[in-house]
Structures are given as C-alpha cells and as structure tokens.
Amino acid sequence: MASYELEHLEEDDSGITVAGLTGELDLTNVNELAQRLDEIAGLETPLVLDLNRVVFIDSAALHCLFRIARDRGRDGLALVVDPESPIAATLAIVELGRAATIAPTAEAARAAVAPSPR
C-alpha cells in the first residue's frame, strides 16, 4: 500500500488554500486524497497543490487530478511542479497542463488562481 502525506500549508488573505503532497499517489489512496482536499478547500476556494515531493503517481491518481481540475475549473486549481521533479515528465506526457495550471513555483501558481479584483 502506497502512502502519502497531505500538509495544509496555508490559507492566505486572498482566500487561496495551499497544500503540499509527499510520497506516492496511487489507486490505494486517491479517493482519500480527493476527500481530504475537499475538506481543506471547498470547490469555491482556489487551491494550489505542491506536488514537488511526490515520487510516484499512477493512472488512478492522474485521473483523480484531472477530475479535481474539471470540478474546480482552470481558475480553481494550480499545481506546483518543478521541471526536475520525479513526476514532471509524467504530467507532461498526459498533458495535465491542458486541464490545470502547472507552475514551477508556488508564487506563480498563486498568481494563476488569484481572484480578480472587482
């Protein structure tokens, strides 16, 4: 059974929730992950998810990320993935960047989902 850790890093004044993942994401834990993400950031709250410490991701976890991106919309989810991270090539191959913003830094990811001034 693969394991992961989800760390709720912050929720800033702009209403963006930032969380980080560590470990392995696969069929054995993606349903729990999706539920925990919903608990820390409802669908109305933009979410920045740092994936730089994820060392393995399988097709079930990829499907989960696509589903989260679809449910949140392009402005509701940004993934932090350094081009040298263990899963960067996998995310590029499946073109996850077409469904959600993939940024190399947390600052760039925050900017991508920041609410527009009214």
**Per-residue pLDDT tens over the stretch 13-66:** 778 999 999 999 999 999 999 999 988 888 888 999 999 999 999 999 999 999
Phi first, then psi, for residue 16 (nearest 5°) are: -90, 130
Q: Does 117 have pLDDT greater than 80?
A: no
What does the pLDDT read at residue 31? 94
For the sheet with 17-25, list strands across it.
4-11, 17-25, 47-57, 77-80, 101-103
Q: Does 1 have pLDDT greater than 70?
A: no
- Locate the domains of the chain by residue range: 4-113
The pLDDT tens digits for 68-84 are 999 999 889 999 999 99
Comparing CA positions, the residue from 41, 42, 43, 36 lying closest to residue 6 is 36
Contact criterion met (CB below 8 Å) for 76 and 47: yes
What does the pLDDT read at residue 12? 65
Mean pLDDT of 78-105: 97
Comparing CA positions, the residue from 50, 51, 53, 41 lying closest to residue 14 is 41
Q: Does 118 have pLDDT greater than 70?
A: no
- Is the domain defined by 4-113 classed in CATH 3.30.420.40? no
